Amino acid sequence: MNNSKVHFYYKNVTAEVIGTEHGITAEQIDELAQKTTPLIEKLNEHRKAGKTRYRDLPYNEQYPKQVCEIAGQVTKECENFVVLGIGGSALGNIALQTALNPYLYNLDPAQRKGPRLFVFDNVDAMQLTSFLSWIGDKLDKTIFNVVSKSGRTAETAAQFLIIRQMLLEKLGPTGYKKQIIATTDPKEGTMRKIASEAGFRTLEVPDGVGGRFSVLSPVGLLSAALCGIDIESLLAGARDMDQRVSRTDFFANPAALNAAINWHYYNRGKRISVMFPYAWRLKDLSDWYRQLWAESLGKSKNIKGQDVFIGPTPVNALGTTDQHSQVQLYREGPNDKLFTFLQVRDFDNDIVIGAAPESTPELNYLAGKHMSRLLNSEKTGTEYALLHDKRPCLTVFFDQVNAFTIGQFIYLFETTTSLAGLLFEINAYDQPAVELGKEATFALMGQPGYEELAEKIKPVQQIDGGYLV
Ligand code: PA5
């Protein structure tokens, strides 16, 4: 059993540290506790009523079994594993890989336990042609995992159709079907239809679980398991966090504190939420969080149907890189941000910094020190500087970065998002505003049924030369 944990630290948002103009007083935190405690109970009720099915994913025994079975089948025949997906169908896969596998995983066979992993979550002919020309003679050793609940998402569908044609031309219908695994809706939708007709191996995007809450389902688990990530530990970490985020004691519940503090600051005009990991390997988790937070909380209507146009803007930065890019603004620009640092206490790899040349004794202070000490000193230094300017800072500490703590982190932020949805009184599980852009693309690409919309788009499509400089 792994004992490493993630911990949520909130002292540096208090008035004690940054004063009453920007900090939270003891009375205000008590008010937040009173406001949030019934919502924790409500969320626990929602869960019992089956309204938050993502909460039960870490307890599902079927999915890891199915995933490991498929991973076991393909592992010998697979040197390259390619995920085709976008949004919630890709960001979790990328985050797990960056956090839990070595930096040179794809380049160095000695550093990897599974196939090379590629995730295509965009439409870019230059990127794809470069990849296809490399993969062209390795197709029989390459498995493509098309991840799409609907199968209609234009980006994923286009990538799939390109790959399909290439596989059919090079390997014929029998070879083609062997190289594709579809992760899709259990019963319906375009990709389910294609998969059934072609005879692909399939996994489920679980019913009632939105893409951005699906990383602990087959959506994220297959690429992780195949690439040597301990998915049992990942799920155990999520279960561990479940114990903590289900507590009705506000002060013992990290998701409740996190959601309440974020909500509080939004209402005080700090509407930008910066996630600032100080560990390169955590950087894609903040990308995953960015989607979770933005799609879940950015809403025009509240649950009563009233106009609210609400939602904190998630921004991601990376320590220390963005100290040299963003911190000038963060310290001296508008005090409209809440910072959430991610800090690692115990790095599994460390390096001692070498000696300085005799001619440059000014570098001697670095010599003989561990790189992790430098990184964490830079985090504390940046936090100190932000606090000096009365900027509120939270920190999520990782005792270590491993599958168990990453599972905890994912579950912590998913539940935080649900609680924030209740505080903002919005539906955190839909994304109606994404639809119009998707439909406009269908119209522009000539999809039958979208002719009327295509007409409406024409003024935007036509560039007015009078304004072109
Ligand atoms: O979180 C979401 O629901 C979205 O980001 C979807 O995952 C994304 O739009 C892809 O949809 P689909 O899985 O249907 O291709």
Residue 156 shares a structural domain with residue 42: no
- Ligand 1 within 6 A of 192 CB? no
Both 381 and 446 in one domain: the answer is no
The answer to whether 216 and 234 are in contact (CB under 8 A) is: yes
Residues 125 and 106 in one domain: yes
How far, in Å, from the CA of 159 to the mean position of ligand 1? 15
Range of the domain at 305: 6-49+233-424
Residue 295 among the catalytic residues: yes
Indicate whether 76 and 225 sit together in one domain: yes
What is the residue with the minimal CA distance to atom 8 of ligand 1? 87
Range list of β-strands (E), 126-220? 142-147, 180-184, 201-204
How many C-beta neighbours within 10 Å does residue 263 have?
A: 21
CB of 87 within 6 A of ligand 1: the answer is: yes
Are 144 and 162 contacting, i.e. CB atoms less than 8 angstroms apart? no
Distance between CA atoms of 293 and 313, rounded to whole angstroms? 8
Residue 261 lies in a domain: yes
- Beta strand 337-344 with 272-278 is parallel
Residue 239's pLDDT is 98
214 Cβ inside 6 Å of ligand 1: no
Instruction: Identify the active-site residue in 295, 337, 379, 414.
Output: 295
- Does residue 216 sit in the same domain as residue 162? yes
Is the pLDDT confidence value at 2 over 90?
Answer: no
**Ligand 1 atom at shortest distance from the alpha carbon of 156:** 15
Q: Residue 430 falls within a domain, yes or no?
A: no
How far is residue 335 from each of residues 21, 77, 134, 316, 323, measured CA to CA in Å?
A: 11, 54, 48, 17, 17
Ligand 1 centroid vs 86 CA: distance in angstroms?
Answer: 6
Same structural domain, 38 and 108: no
**Do 394 and 448 belong to one domain?**
no
Q: In angstroms, rounded to a whole number, what is the distance separating the alpha carbons of residues 61 and 69?
A: 13
- Of how many residues is the chain composed? 469
- Given ligand 1 and candidates 84, 94, 120, 153, which is best to mutate, with the most ligand atoms within 8 Å of its CB? 153
Backbone angles phi, psi at 402, to 5 degrees: -150, 175
| Structural domain total, the chain | 3
Q: Of the candidates 229, 257, 288, which is a domain's last residue?
A: 229
| SS3 track for 192-204 | HHHHHHHCCEEEE
Confirm or reject: Cβ of 153 under 6 Å from ligand 1. yes
- Between strands 313-316 and 337-344, the pairing is unpaired
Q: What is the mean pLDDT of the chain?
A: 96
Candidates 48, 324, 332, 452; catalytic one: 324
Residue 183 Cα to ligand 1 middle (Å)? 12
Burial class (CB in 10 A: 0-12, 13-18, 19+), 399: middle
Q: Can you list the alpha helix ranges (DSSP code H) found in 248-359?
A: 254-267, 283-297, 327-332
| 181, 200, 229 - which closes a domain | 229
Give yes or no for residue 76 having a pLDDT over 90. Answer: no
From atom 5 of ligand 1, which residue's Cα is the shortest distance away? Answer: 87
pLDDT for res 1: 53
Ligand 1 centroid, distance to 310 Cα (angstroms): 22
CB neighbours (10 Å) of residue 405? 27
* High-pLDDT (> 70) share of the chain, %: 100
Ligand 1: atom nearest CA of 434 is 9
Amino acid at position 441, single letter? T
CA geometry: angle 103, 107, 112, nearest 5 deg = 70
CA distance 48 to 94: 31
Give the model confidence (pLDDT) of 51-62 as tens digits.
Answer: 999 999 999 999
245-269 tens-digit pLDDT:
999 999 999 999 999 999 999 999 9
CATH code for the domain in which residue 86 is found: 3.40.50.10490
Picking from 176, 162, 174, 172, the residue whose alpha carbon sits closest to that of residue 132 is 162
CB of residue 211 inside a 6 A radius of ligand 1 = yes
In a domain, 311, yes or no: yes
- CB of 47 sitting under 6 A from ligand 1: no
At 226, is the secondary structure helix, strand, or coil? Answer: helix
**218: Cα separation from own chain's centroid:** 15
338 plus 265 within the same structural domain: yes
User: 166 pLDDT band (50/70/90 cuts)?
Assistant: very high
State pLDDT tens for residues 375-418: 999 999 999 999 999 999 999 999 999 999 999 999 999 999 99
pLDDT for the residue 379: 98
Can you list the positions of beta strands (E) in 50-122? 80-84, 116-120
Distance (Å, whole) CA 269 – CA 272: 9
> How high is the pLDDT of residue 160?
97
* pLDDT, position 26: 98
| Catalytic (active site) residue 324 | yes
Residue type present at position 146: V
> At 230, is the secondary structure helix, strand, or coil?
coil
> Does residue 397 sit within a domain?
yes
Cα torsion 151, 157, 163, 166 to 10°: value is 110
The rounded Å distance from CA 89 to ligand 1 centre is 6
Whether 1 maps to a domain, the answer reads: no
Please provide residue 205's backbone torsions phi and psi, each rounded to the nearest 5 degrees: -90, 115
pLDDT in tens, 108-131: 999 999 999 999 999 999 999 999
pLDDT of residue 277: 98
**In the prediction, which pLDDT does 77 show?**
81
The helices-and-strands tally (H runs, E runs) of the chain is 16, 12
Q: Is 97 in the pocket of ligand 1 (CB under 6 A)?
A: no
Please indicate whether residue 77 or residue 280 has the higher confidence score (pLDDT). 280
- 453 and 395 co-located in one domain: no
Q: For ligand 1, is residue 417 a contact (CB within 6 Å)? A: no
Task: State whether 412 and 463 are in the same domain.
Answer: no
Within 13 A of 435's CA, how many CA atoms are on the CB side?
Answer: 5
For residue 254 and ligand 1, the question of a CB distance below 6 A is answered with no
Q: Does 429 fall in a domain?
A: no
